[in-house]
């Protein structure tokens, strides 16, 4: 098959068997599906016009995805970038034609997110021609993952399935499982979160090395549909790093930090439920984590020796790894939420 644009080729994931009961859904860059479908849908609906500037904030892979989608559909792109966006990504964004500005450096990811949203609002006030993509709040970002779900359903017909992946904006794991449950309500969803994320109530726990970009948040995301999740894992940086290093060492898979966290969670879930196939969502490659994660591989722990503390409520969670049966319940009350 000849693709009309590189984005159409890059978006397609590969399925890699990691162990009995554990399969990796490996993306080059997962949010390309979301961005391509969202931009096309907005154009078809007349919400945006060809050549208009689309703007959003990002910690990395959504920025790349949106830049590719704008390149694909002839749109302009402006990214308010996190301090965690690496030089390689920044160079690609600029060459693709996106204009990029990074917020001032902050070791506090909460402030980093607030700075970015504040800057987006400032630009919107001065330039009404901009369209804010609102990846965290506009459910148009769910649409692209329906195609991913259809691929999964075709690959594993009649299989008892559990999807494991970073929660982040909620659109990826939520969009995949919401679609799968249309025909199979028994599909389970296990979400992965870093400590410090308000999304499932871990905001009172501080991980000084937390750089698990894209799977948690210090602000409330409307696209997270809490009632879709059957269980939640909270992992610190060291555990996520250990999972990422183990993936490379044991399976030759070079994947990002969120994938490492998901791999650790899925391995644990597979031991509990060996009757099910656990599908780990691998959002991106490990390239942007070379210095901060893979260069420190000697510090990684043996995943076989790690297990979570089982808790009954978010208030009981403890670092470095906790797990809770969520039971598809509604959004919890957040004591310190920051709306955007």
**Residues 121-133: pLDDT tens digits?**
888 888 889 999 9
Helix, strand, coil percentages in the chain from 3-state DSSP, rounded to 5: 40, 20, 40
Inform me whether the pLDDT recorded for 30 exceeds 90.
Answer: yes
Compute how many other C-beta atoms are within 10 angstroms of the C-beta atom of residue 83: 17
Once rounded to an integer, what is the mean pLDDT over residues 219-237? 94
**What pLDDT, on the 0 to 100 scale, is given for residue 106?**
58
Q: pLDDT class for 119, splitting at 50, 70, 90?
A: confident
Which residue has tokens 């990691």? 18
Q: Is the pLDDT of residue 46 over 60?
A: yes
Segment 76-90 shows an average pLDDT of 86
Number of Cβ atoms within 10 Å of the Cβ of 246: 23
C-alpha span between 216 and 199 (Å, rounded): 7
- 300 has pLDDT over 80: yes
Give the pLDDT of residue 337. Answer: 43
pLDDT of 260 > 60? The answer is yes
pLDDT at 336 over 50: no
pLDDT at 294 over 90: yes
Give the pLDDT confidence score for residue 108 in this predicted structure. Answer: 59
Concatenated DSSP letters of 76-141: EEEEEE-TT--HHHHHHHHHTT-EEEEPPP-S-HHHHHHHHHHHHHHHHHH-TT-EE--TTT-GGG
Instruction: Check whether 327 has a pLDDT greater than 90.
Output: yes
Q: pLDDT exceeding 70 applies to what percent of the chain?
A: 92
So what's the pLDDT on residue 61?
86
Count other Cβ atoms within 10 Å, centred on residue 210. 19
> Given phi > 0 = left and psi -120 to 50 = alpha, else beta, which region is 194?
beta
Whether 44 shows a pLDDT value over 90: the answer reads: yes
For 133, counting Cβ atoms within 10 Å of its Cβ (0-12 exposed, 13-18 middle, 19+ buried), the class is buried
Mean pLDDT across 296-315: 95
Per-residue pLDDT at 216: 79
7-23 pLDDT, tens digit per residue, is 999 999 999 999 999 99
Mean confidence (pLDDT) of the chain: 91
Which residues are within 8 A (CB) of 292 and not within 5 positions of it... i.e. 6 or more apart? 211
Cis before residue 97, ω within 30 degrees of 0? no
Determine phi and psi for 23, rounding to 5 degrees.
-125, 140
Question: Across the strands, what pairs with 310?
Answer: 323
pLDDT band at 104 (very low <50, low <70, confident <90, very high): low
The whole-number average pLDDT for the span 62-70 is 96
Instruction: Please state the rounded mean pLDDT for residues 140-162.
Output: 97
Please, are residues 256 and 244 in contact by the beta-carbon 8 Å criterion?
yes
């Amino acid at each position: 098959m000849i693709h009309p644009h590189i984005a159409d080729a890059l978006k397609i994931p590969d399925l890699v068997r990691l162990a009995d009961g554990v399969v990796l859904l490996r993306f080059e860059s997962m949010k390309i599906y979301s961005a391509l479908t969202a931009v096309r849908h907005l154009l078809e609906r007349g919400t945006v016009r060809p050549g208009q500037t689309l703007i959003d904030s990002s910690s990395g892979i959504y920025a790349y995805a949106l830049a590719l989608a704008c390149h694909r559909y002839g749109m302009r792109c402006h990214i308010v970038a996190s301090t965690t966006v690496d030089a390689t990504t920044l160079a690609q964004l600029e060459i693709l034609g996106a204009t990029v500005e990074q917020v001032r450096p902050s070791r506090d990811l909460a402030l980093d997110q607030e700075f970015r949203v504040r800057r987006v609002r400032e630009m919107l006030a001065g330039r009404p021609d901009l369209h804010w993509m609102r990846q965290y709040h506009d459910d148009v970002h769910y649409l692209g993952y329906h195609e991913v779900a259809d691929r999964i359903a075709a690959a594993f017909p009649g299989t008892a399935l559990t999807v494991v992946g970073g929660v982040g904006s909620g659109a990826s794991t939520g969009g995949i499982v919401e679609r799968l449950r249309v025909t199979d309500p028994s599909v389970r969803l296990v979400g992965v979160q870093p400590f410090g994320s308000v999304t499932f109530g871990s905001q009172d726990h501080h991980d000084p090395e937390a750089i698990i970009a894209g799977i948690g948040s210090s602000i409330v995301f409307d696209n997270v549909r809490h009632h879709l999740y059957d269980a939640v894992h909270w992992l610190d940086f060291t555990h996520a790093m250990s999972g990422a290093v183990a993936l490379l060492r044991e399976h030759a898979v070079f994947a990002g930090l969120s994938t490492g966290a998901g791999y650790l969670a899925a391995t644990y879930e597979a031991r509990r439920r060996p009757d099910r196939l656990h599908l780990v969502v691998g959002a991106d490659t490990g390239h942007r984590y070379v210095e901060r994660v893979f260069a420190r591989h000697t510090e990684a722990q043996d995943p076989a020796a790690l297990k979570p503390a089982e808790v009954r409520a978010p208030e009981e969670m403890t670092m470095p790894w906790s797990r809770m049966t969520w039971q598809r319940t509604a959004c919890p009350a957040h004591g310190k939420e920051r709306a955007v």
